[in-house]
Amino acid sequence: MSRARVFDYKRAMELQQYLSRRVLEELDSFPQLNLDKLQYIVGVDAAYHKDLMCGVAVLLDYRTGFVLKEAVVYRKPAIPYVPGLLAFREAPAYIAAIKKLGAKPDVVFVDGHGLSHPRAFGIATHVGLVLNTPSVGIAKKKLYGEEKIEDGERVVWAHGRVVAKVIEHRGKKLYVSIGYKIRLEDAVKLTKKLTVDKYKLPLPIALADQLSKKFVRRLK
């Protein structure tokens, strides 16, 4: 009788540290994003029912904001929620859902942090690196780093550099962090363009959040 594999938390953290070195080395070579040429934006999020996770991906037309396609993946998470290791819980479902869309996104928006993470490898960075696609992390709370005011803007320093910027929307903070293959100024500019008064979060994540909750309700 085969034994179930036990998740190795120490190895997972070591893997994050190893991969983050590669990302940080590439950071200054990330190309500038041409917003005029963007076509597809994807947002991902998850909802839970008992021990089942519903991970969704929503494909948007960047110019119109219209939803073009949706995909859902049901998974039993490999691990419980552990701060700093969210990617190992949710990223596999997100990546599978994005692949089900059948279209290569120009940018992926992830509900979570990117480089503003203890090992510079949050879920947004994880997803972006696996897919080799520009990614942005959006969070409502700081996970790691030092907040400072620079040139009148609130930024987050971590790992020797600015990795996130704090913007305000509907009176609340949003932490916009570099995920992968995107410059912070472009991540912030794109986030602001996709943030509307109707939702607390940028449109791609807000719609993914709604969809995940809709699918979870069907399980009850």
Spell out the domains of the chain, with CATH numbers in brackets. 9-33+41-217 (3.30.2170.10)
pTM as predicted: 0.95
pLDDT for position 219: 80
Query: How many CA atoms, within 13 angstroms, populate the side-chain half-sphere of residue 53?
Result: 22
pLDDT for position 36: 92
pLDDT for position 218: 83
Pairing of strands 161-169, 67-75: unpaired
Q: What is the mean pLDDT of each run of 10 residues along the chain (220 residues)?
A: 71 97 95 94 95 96 95 93 95 97 97 98 98 97 96 96 96 97 98 95 97 87
Nearest CA to 109 out of 88, 89, 131 is that of 131
Kindly report the three-state secondary structure assignment for every residue of 100-112.
HHCCCCCEEEEEC
Nearest CA to 22 out of 145, 129, 160 is that of 129
